[in-house]
Amino acid sequence: MTSFSTFAEPSMLDLARAGNFRAIAYLINSYLAPQGIYARVEPVQKGCLPIRLEINGLSQQPDFYQQLRSGLNKFICQQIWRLNSEVIDGVRIIATGANPLGNSDLLWQQSIRIVTPANQQRRNQHLQRLLDGVSRAAAWINYKVFRLFLVAGVSVSAFIMGSAIGYLQLRDQSQTNPIVSPQTASNPVNGVEERPKVVQAALETVPVIEHTDVINPNDPTVTLMMSGDVTLGHGFEDLIGSDYTWAFDQMPEYREADMAIVNLEGTLTTANTKLEKTFNFKADPSSVDVLTSGGVDIVNLANNHAMDYQGPGLQETLKTLEKAGIHAIGAGMEITEARRPKIIDVKGQRIAYFGYYTADYHAAAEGVPGTNHGMEQRIAEDIQAVRDEVDWIVVNFHWGVELANYPEIWQSELAYFTIDQGADVIVGHHPHVLQGAEIYKGRPIAYSLGNFIFGGNARSDYDTAVLKVSLREEQMKVEFLPVEVRKYQPKVVRGERGDRILEHIDLISGVFEEPMTSPMILDARQSKVVTSGNTVFDSQKAAEIESNPKEELPSEQDEAFNASPFTNELGEPLSFGEADKLSEVEPASPPQSKGTSRAVGIALAAAAAGGAIGVAGRNKKIKLPQFAKSLVSS
């Protein structure tokens, strides 16, 4: 998830979300200052955040100027949107520098509205309070209407009756178009009885964990990112030292995912209880900041290095991860904890994560710490116990032969068995190299994702891939993202370099009966590959294009906020380097019913309340209710 939260202290983020202009300036300049661009931020004024950009060394090419303007506007709006502040409704950007298009120091100035879940909810709550006040006013008017007829005469009575009609239209319209919170709107089970907050697993009842740290809570698509082996000790420490932001610095895709998982091979401990074996991996507990800065939400510990420092090492690793807010699967201080799945609710979709180590070395037992042994009977019990209570099941296997390009036959058989029990996605680890991927009954099996940030040896440069899975309405889109790792720093690569990695995956996947190609859309309900263009992901893009048509940028004299949300026509997050024009269109409003509009209805109802209160106030014998006094005073 790429945002300010990837590197800033919580206190700084809290200040920025509260509208502290100094904190916001610090966060923005953390990105822009290295590029020779400095942002001066002023206090929020009536929801508008003024930002003055000072650009040094500007190119004299007009095309570059236009690209810079578009990119900077998008970048700033993107970051403010992700900040999700209740007090910021938009930004006023004023850029100064050497203008290649004229003699003035002013490059451009533009006001842009930013609709975030936080300020949208605040406006909805404000509107609801207004509706409640109008409702109470109408009730009070009904109680006093006969007295008003006598006191005010026919003219006032006609005014009251006309205003009452406006209120009734408003009430009917509010029932037709109810106010819905962003969380409710994004919940695919909206309108269905709320599901329990706990799930009965094979050995115990486990809580459903609400995961709200997502970039766009209103987007019903849930994105999962999965990668290979991560070891933060040995070669990684020797090369990187304590620079905990280095590893994921070029991997924004991981921070942008709703849920991101890695296979953590090694411990985060200071324990010296080394297990007798060839390789023992550990890193200082502070190295967990590498994972948090990268947006990692969950780690798999079901592997051959989780017990490198035995019980004390595992215990400290688990506590370190928990303190950092990272979930762990596949290992525990006894069998129940080791088998415990993590069930995460992301935007209304429940995802169960399991981790298994197919070898029986240091397997957990009653009162004995260790890993979750991947036996068929156990796998069947675990999956079947939760299948009806979750939407998706992701299984991680630590299996196979190191450096082998293809899985063993028994691995495929175990993968098929696991899917037959109800699993939706299977991801493998341990070989340290990429293996192929296949589809079985409409479910993907990625046998090995290779190394990701593997500091367990001196080799720091290699090619690999991550698996991205998008979930929506019982369909999933699966695709490999080609990754180039240099000095233990992964980066998604495009063009010829990326094509070569994807071609390699296609080549080694060709041995399977139904190879997985990238990208591919699968229907979980029908257990098959969707070959036509009629998918929920296609309909999502079409809907977004329809509700966010391209429009020309407003003139610089246009002071009105009129841009949001910050995605392109395909619903993809805007990036700093994009040169296309910023779409500045509000999301389409719900269809209005015929007759008086919502705004007119509010005005009429408020007029009814104000008119009645004014007349009643002049009659000394009528005592005004408390809410009426506040209306008169305002």
Q: Is the pLDDT of residue 193 over 50?
A: yes
Which of the four CATH numbers 3.90.1150.50, 3.40.1390.10, 3.40.50.300, 3.60.21.10 does domain 202-529 have? 3.60.21.10
Tokens standing for residue 435: 């293996």
Is the peptide bond prior to 117 cis by the omega test (within 30 degrees of 0)? no
- pTM of the full predicted structure? 0.59
Residue, of 162 and 301, whose pLDDT is higher: 301
Q: Please choose, from the candidates 390, 388, 362, 357, the residue with its C-alpha nearest in 3D space to the C-alpha of residue 374.
A: 357
pLDDT tens digits, 385-412 = 999 999 999 999 999 999 999 999 999 9
Tokens standing for residue 10: 């919580």
Q: Is the pLDDT of residue 183 over 50?
A: no
Q: Is the pLDDT of residue 84 over 90?
A: no
- What span, in angstroms and rounded, lies between the C-alpha atoms of 590 and 177? 7
- What span, in angstroms and rounded, lies between the C-alpha atoms of 473 and 523? 9
The predicted pLDDT at position 558 comes to: 37
pLDDT tens digits, 362-375 = 999 999 999 999 99
The predicted pLDDT at position 25 comes to: 87
- What span, in angstroms and rounded, lies between the C-alpha atoms of 402 and 180? 52
The predicted pLDDT at position 592 comes to: 36
C-alpha angle 604-610-613 in degrees, rounded to nearest 5? 140
The predicted pLDDT at position 35 comes to: 79
Q: Is the pLDDT of residue 180 over 60?
A: no
- What span, in angstroms and rounded, lies between the C-alpha atoms of 539 and 528? 19
Under 8 Å between Cβ of 271 and 313: yes
**Among 72-86, 130-144, 208-222, 318-332, which stretch is predicted with the lowest mean pLDDT?**
130-144
For 294-318, what is the mean pLDDT? 98
DSSP annotation of 565 reads -
- What span, in angstroms and rounded, lies between the C-alpha atoms of 458 and 514? 36
**Among 141-150, 410-419, 525-534, 548-557, which stretch is predicted with the lowest mean pLDDT?**
548-557
The predicted pLDDT at position 169 comes to: 53
Q: Is the pLDDT of residue 151 over 70?
A: no
Supply the mean pLDDT for the chain. 78
Residue, of 46 and 524, whose pLDDT is higher: 524
The three-class DSSP label of residue 398 is: strand
The predicted pLDDT at position 123 comes to: 60
DSSP annotation of 410 reads H
- Residue 578 exposed, middle or buried by CB count within 10 Å (0-12, 13-18, 19+): middle
The residues facing 329 across adjacent strands are 300
Residue, of 192 and 411, whose pLDDT is higher: 411
The predicted pLDDT at position 597 comes to: 43
- Which residue carries 């969707």 as its tokens? 530
> CA of 499: how far to CAs of 240, 439, 453, 483, 492, in Å?
29, 21, 21, 11, 11
Q: Where are the domains positioned within the chain? A: 4-115, 119-177+592-633, 202-529
For the chain, how far is it from start to end, CA to CA, in angstroms? 44
For 143-147, what is the mean pLDDT? 51
pLDDT tens digits, 27-42 = 888 888 887 888 899 9
Q: Is the pLDDT of residue 633 over 90?
A: no
CATH class of this structure's domain 4-115: alpha beta
Residue, of 534 and 171, whose pLDDT is higher: 534
Rg of the chain's alpha carbons, rounded to an integer? 29
Phi, psi of 371 (to 5 degrees): -100, 170
> CA of 182: how far to CAs of 178, 248, 342, 562, in Å?
12, 30, 25, 20
